[in-house]
Structure formats: C-alpha cells, structure tokens
Amino acid sequence: MSAKRISLRYWGVDIQQFLFWILAAFVAGAGPNIAGALGLAPLIGVTVAAALIVLLIWLKNKRKKGIGVFIHLPRANDRPLPDDFVPQLIKYMSKRHLDWFQAGPDDESRSVRDRVDYLLKSILHRLDEARLRLENIPQVSVYLYSRQEEAFELGGQLSGQWQRPSLDGSSSLEPLRSSVNWKVSYRSMHDNVVNNYHINLGKIINGGAPDPEDCTVESRADIYAGHGMPEPLVPRFGVIIFATSGGESAYNAFTKLALKSAAGKAGTGYITSDDDRCESAVLIHIPGEELIHELKSGRADKRIHSALKFCQQECIHAYGRDDIPMRVYIKGPALLAFAAGAILNSNSKVIEFDPNLQLLSEETSHGTERVVYALLDGDDVGVGMEKNLLSNQLDSAIAYSAWVDESITTLINKLESIEGVRLRSKGGDSAIFEMPDRIQASFEATIARFRNESDFRVSCGYGSDCDKAYAALRLAKSSGKNLSSGAAQ
C-alpha cells in the first residue's frame, strides 16, 4: 500500500485542518472561557500560543496551490528511476499543493496513444473528484517523466480535451477549463542532480504573435530532391527544432541528419516509414542555454509559443493551410515535445530516434555484404490463449487467436515488403527472414514502428546463421521481451 493510501488524510481526516479550527475556536472564545480559572497571565500565554499556531498553519496552507499530478510513462527497456526520485517528488508536491496523486506507470505493452489516452481519462476522473472535495481547483501542476513521444502525445490529447466542446456546448473539462491554470513541469535527473522545467499550457496555447527575437527560422523546400528521393505521394511537413547547447556545429549535424530522415533516407537512426516522408521543412533554432534558464524559472512560455507558431506560419506559407500532417524532430527537453503536441495539428507526430539503429547502419555500411537471419516470435501468445481456455471463454479464445494471426501477418507483410528481405518460413506467431546485413537497420526500424503502433508484443533475434539468431532471440525474451537482439558476426 502506498504512503498516501495509508495516510489519515487519504481517508478524509485532515489533521492540520482539524487542529486549525480547534485552535481558532479557542482563540475566538471557547478557550478563554475554559482557561479563565487559570488567571490572567496563563490565559494570555495560552491564547497567544494558540494564535501563533493558527497563524503558522494558515500561512503554510496559503502557500499551497491546486493539485499536483505526477505522470510517469516509462517503457519496458528504460532504466528504473533512482530510489529517492519519487519520494523527493512526493515531498515536493506535498509542500506546494493542496493534494496530489500519481498516474502511471501503466501497461507498457500497449501503444503510446492508448497508454496516454488511458492515463488522461484517469487523471480527469481524479481531478473531478478533487474538485468536488476542494470546491475549486485554481491550478493543476503536472509533473512529467517520459520520453518525447509520450510527452508529445500527452500534450496533443490534453490540448484536445481542453478545447473540445461537450454536447451541451460547454467544455468537457468545465468548470476546469476556464478556471484552472494548467502548469506542466518536466522533472529530469542528470548526475544525481534534479532539474524541474516549468511551462504554463494556457500561455503557450493562447499566446500572441510570435517574436522573431525568440528563435531563428529557416525554411527548406523540396528536401526529397536534394537527397535523391522521389516526391512523396502525400503532403507532409517537416518540423526540425534544435533547442540545446552545442553551438553551430551541433545544430548543423542534427539538422543534416533530421533532413535526411525527413526526405526518406534510411540509416539515420530515426524510425520512419513512407508515410513520414516530407516535401518541405522548417528549421527552428532556439538558444539552448537561454531556454533551459527560462524553463527553470518558468519564463519560457513566450519563446516556446513563438517557435511553434513560426512552424504553423511556415506550413501555411508552403501549403496555404496549417492542417498538413507534420513530422517533428526535436533535439531538446521532453517538455518542448509536450508543448509541440499541444500546439501543432492533431495529425502530427514526433519521429522517434533510436541510436542503436544508427550505429547498426554505420556498422553494416562498410566491408563486404554478409547474410543476416532474423527469427521473429510473438511474446506470451500461449499464455494469453491458455488464460481464455482455462476460463472457459471459447469466444474470447477464438477472437484472441484471430487477433494474433492478424497482427503477425501485418508485421510479416511490412517486413517482406522491404527490398532485399526474403521470408524463409512462417507459422503461427513466428517467422524466419533472410537479408543482406545492410538491410538490418531498416528491418529493425520497421519492427520498432510496429511495436509503437500495436499492442502485439514481439521479440526478434539476429545472427549470421540460424543458431546465432535463435540464441539472440532467447536473449531478447529473457531480457524483458518485446525487444530485439543480435547482429551479423
């Protein structure tokens, strides 16, 4: 049972408030009547002491504002949080907010969209309970710990909930929408130093005209042609934001790699598909050190608003409207991805970067071409089937089997469509592939995309022969499943 659940306050008894009103009643008159027999001097002393305690409790509670919400969205292969991370945050929230609660971690096997959707619904339910208990919520402070992809999705869904009307014309968050000040913090830890970055969601969404002094903007048209790629079949607009330290060389290196990925080139480390290929792009350079300083002090809203509004303006300039799906590349804190999700249109998404894919591409781009075998196998499929059968749920078992077959078939078709990949065998929830080593990065990127988009969990092992590939598959499954392992050797 969590610390909050066993606290008296959780069960409806607020000791501080109880003590406050008892002492207030004593100061107001009940106490003096009882203590009258003690004499004037003791009476004055007891009354002054009670008044001081009441004042201290009142000052302490006056400093607390709204509700604190800690959102934790880890992935299965993420490093665990330090042992003192959550206790420190709970202590921080307890000092600053009237109440707090934690959302997540949840089922890490589901897609990013489904996880965020579930978490947001539970948060809104808890906020509604808090509103009834506290009568009003002047401020909601969200403390976020996640990757950029989850932060972007959360920003988009929260912004959509904020602005979406209900059937009677009011907001689905009324009365929270118009009366609540939504503040979001990204809590990070580097070298055992905790950093809190803060933004105000309302100020970012409802800010004024963008200020050219806040960032530099550069537009690029027909980026596919410059990289020898065919024109995309559907319009996509690339948004490339550099918001960290490193100077001009780091900016150039990042934008070069992001532009290459946006044009559709493989081997960049970014997990993309043909649907992510862009015609044109905008490059945004936010001074990293200035942004971090402003995020720590809570004054970054104007700069972030300007950068994202410039993205929308450049999209309008290129296409005549701002509802073109955007593919976002961010070098900066996850809080910036959250803000981008809240501002940019709902068809947009952050492109995920996996450094292992980039290293894999570099390793296989030199020397003679070698053959790689890939063994693909669904995770816990038998367990899911047994659960339904042992519960005498025949219809559920049939539906589950059909879902497994559809999921693995979809993935196999995606992988088989990669030029150079040869399907050697398939059966049940397993498959064996053969490919040149130069294809492995694209092959793994396709699996990574599938994992992000589907609830179906699958492991993969690579090797220069079937024996090594099978050993790599067993290693992936013993390391947590829904992972890949191995390379050509």
What CATH number is given to the structural domain containing 458? 3.30.70.270
SS (H, E, C) the chain: CCCCCCCCHHHCCCHHHHHHHHHHHHHHCHHHHHHHHHCHHHHHHHHHHHHHHHHHHHHHHHCCCCEEEEEEECCCCCCCCCCCHHHHHHHHHHHHCCEEEEECCCCCCCCHHHHHHHHHHHHHHHHHHHHHHHCCCCEEEEEEEECHHHHHHHHHHHHHHHHCECCCCCECCCCHHHHCEEEEEEEEEECCEEEEEEEEHHHHHCCCCCCHHHCEEEEECCHHHHCCCCCCCCCCEEEEEECCCCHHHHHHHHHHHHHHHHHCCCCCCECCCHHHCCCEEEEEECCHHHHHHHHHHCCCHHHHHHHHHHHHHHHHHHHCCCCCCEEEEEECCHHHHHHHHHHCCCCCEECCECHHHHHHHHHCCCCCCCEEEEEEEECCHHHHHHHHHHCCCHHHHHHHHHHHHHHHHHHHHHHHCCCCCEEEEEECCEEEEEEEHHHHHHHHHHHHHHHHHCCCCEEEEEECCHHHHHHHHHHHHHCCCCCEECCCC
Assigned domain for 454 exists: yes
What confidence score (pLDDT) does residue 156 get?
A: 87
Check whether residue 217 and residue 338 sit in a common domain: yes
Assigned domain for 458 exists: yes
Check whether residue 235 and residue 328 sit in a common domain: yes
> 329, 359, 357: which is closest to 254 by C-alpha?
329
Per the prediction, the chain carries an average pLDDT of: 78
Which amino acid is located at 454 in the chain?
Answer: S
Parent domain of 463: 357-485
Assigned domain for 17 exists: yes
Q: Which of 37, 62, 87 is the last residue of a domain?
A: 62
Check whether residue 169 and residue 52 sit in a common domain: no
Check whether residue 226 and residue 345 sit in a common domain: yes
Assigned domain for 194 exists: no
Check whether residue 208 and residue 348 sit in a common domain: yes
Q: pLDDT by residue (tens digit) across 334-384?
A: 888 989 998 898 889 999 887 666 555 545 554 556 889 999 999 988 888
Instruction: Work out the angle at residue 83's Cα, subtended by the Cα atoms of residues 79 and 85, and round it to the nearest 5 degrees.
Output: 85
Q: pLDDT by residue (tens digit) across 247-300?
A: 888 899 899 999 998 998 877 878 887 788 899 999 999 988 888 888 888 888
Q: Which of 352, 375, 392 is the last residue of a domain?
A: 352
Check whether residue 300 and residue 367 sit in a common domain: no
Give the whole-angstrom CA distance, residue 260 versus residue 267. 9
Task: Kindly give the confidence (pLDDT) of every residue in the chain, 489 residues in length, as a single tens digit, with 9 standing for 90 and above.
Answer: 344 444 444 444 355 556 656 656 655 565 556 555 556 666 666 667 766 766 665 656 555 777 888 888 887 667 777 777 888 888 888 887 878 888 877 777 677 888 888 888 888 788 777 777 666 655 778 888 888 888 898 888 887 765 543 333 333 344 333 344 556 666 555 445 566 788 887 788 877 788 888 888 998 888 888 888 888 888 999 999 999 887 888 899 899 999 998 998 877 878 887 788 899 999 999 988 888 888 888 888 899 999 999 999 999 999 998 899 999 999 988 888 989 998 898 889 999 887 666 555 545 554 556 889 999 999 988 888 888 899 888 998 999 999 999 999 999 988 988 877 889 998 888 999 998 887 788 888 888 888 877 888 899 999 988 888 998 999 888 887 888 888 654
Check whether residue 118 and residue 248 sit in a common domain: no
Provide the number of structural domains found in the chain.
4
Assigned domain for 44 exists: yes
Check whether residue 120 and residue 247 sit in a common domain: no
Check whether residue 343 and residue 208 sit in a common domain: yes
What confidence score (pLDDT) does residue 377 get?
A: 93
Assigned domain for 313 exists: yes
Tokens 């409806």, residue?
Answer: 12
Gyration radius from the chain CA atoms:
28
Assigned domain for 195 exists: no
Q: Which of 302, 331, 352 is the last residue of a domain?
A: 352
Give the long-range contacts of residues 25-30, CB within 8 A, separation 24 or more. Answer: 26/50, 27/51, 27/54
Check whether residue 235 and residue 327 sit in a common domain: yes
Check whether residue 385 and residue 409 sit in a common domain: yes
Give the whole-angstrom CA distance, residue 126 versus residue 412. 41
What confidence score (pLDDT) does residue 157 get?
A: 85
Assigned domain for 197 exists: no
Check whether residue 311 and residue 411 sit in a common domain: no
